[in-house]
Amino acid sequence: MNILPRAAIAALGVVMLVAAASWIPTAQPELPPLNRPGWSKQSWGATPDGRPVEMFTLQNSRGIAARITNYGATLVSLTTPDRSGRMADIVLGFDSIEGYTSRAYLRASPYFGATIGRYANRIAGGRFSLNGKVVSLRVNNPPNHLHGGFSGFDKAVWEASVGTNDEPSLQLNYKSKDGEEGYPGNMNVTVIYTLKDDALDIVYQATTDQDTIVNLTNHSYFNLKGAGEGDILNHELQINADRFTPVNEALVPTGELRPTDDTPFDFKKPMQIGTRISAKEEQLSFGRGYDHNFVLTGPDALLKWAARVREPSKGRTLEIWTTEPGLQVYTGNFLRGDLVGKKGKTYGIRGGLCLEAQHFPDSPNQREFPSTVVSAGGKYTSHTIFRLGVDQLNPADDAASPISHP
């Protein structure tokens, strides 16, 4: 999701290029593959203020591997086979912790693979009312609050513990203090990654001692050709939604739930992302492409199919299942090619696709949107599944196959 308004992008352009040129990532040896399903742990350096950081590898019997750091509860890599059995990492990120803490990265704030909180997406003006009182948040995306503020969950070092069940899993815990970035209430947050036979499963949980708001998601950028292997415009996207939430120029929802029919936002049938992304349409001009929330079809709080992506040249597929009511689709419109990623590759414009299962942006200020309030003593739970696959040799056969519950 785009974090910077247009004026800020222009003003920071030269500064970002200089900063990127002055920062050279520290080469780190790749974590060795596991010989069997399971997990491994490795020290991964430290943050600039000295907090130790660890890297965890989860691997299943098919050789699919997820690497997750406790810095930001971040998905750093996800390695999957294509139709020929060749493995590739399909999420954008860095080889070392320095990549996630560099000045260039913090200025661009792409949030590669991070857990976003307390509130994913924008809150208009950095303000909302709760129990008759105005709550003011730190404004990090003028004039709005975005992705939890300057020091959101993506910059926290989480406590980590590895699961002991048959499927490799990692539990990450973080205690968010009352007043952090302006949010009321002490909040205990848990994120559980589980690598299943054909899916990466993410469960979010939170409790609070005061009434507050919460909206958590994962901000991975997917490229099913492989991270750093060009753009995602050839990816075929299908979304289980017949409405979306249009935005104003500041990318905040207007409150309308607009039908997707006869618009570039109609993905009820598979469509290549690049087909209509450059259409002369006001909504696309606001985000320089897709950066919009889709209203998912199906009951809230129950696991439902949200979207499917297919990359035709390699054959990889990705399905999203979630209990959330919305799916933010962001096509990497503000990636600039000035961040050096894994294996020395740069990530250019539209080099990754974000599919962020979440509640709607600015819900605390939109009465008609599903509520994001969690009461004192209550519990927040959210569940999202990234289901990994490979298409059939005959794309027509694959398109005709039904979508089954994970």
Catalytic residues: 219, 356
25 and 95 in contact (C-beta within 8 Å)? yes
Specify the residue for token string 């250019």: 348
Residue 197: CB atoms within 10 A of its CB come to: 12
Euclidean distance between CA atoms 63 and 85, whole angstroms? 10
For residue 143, cis peptide bond before it (omega within 30 degrees of 0): yes
Angle at the Cα of 182 (from 178 to 185), degrees rounded to 5? 25
Pairing of strands 199-208, 353-358: unpaired
Helices in 23-101 by DSSP H: which ranges? 97-101
201 and 93 in contact (C-beta within 8 Å)? no
Residue 224: CB atoms within 10 A of its CB come to: 26
Nearest to 272 by CA among 325, 231, 214, 218: 231
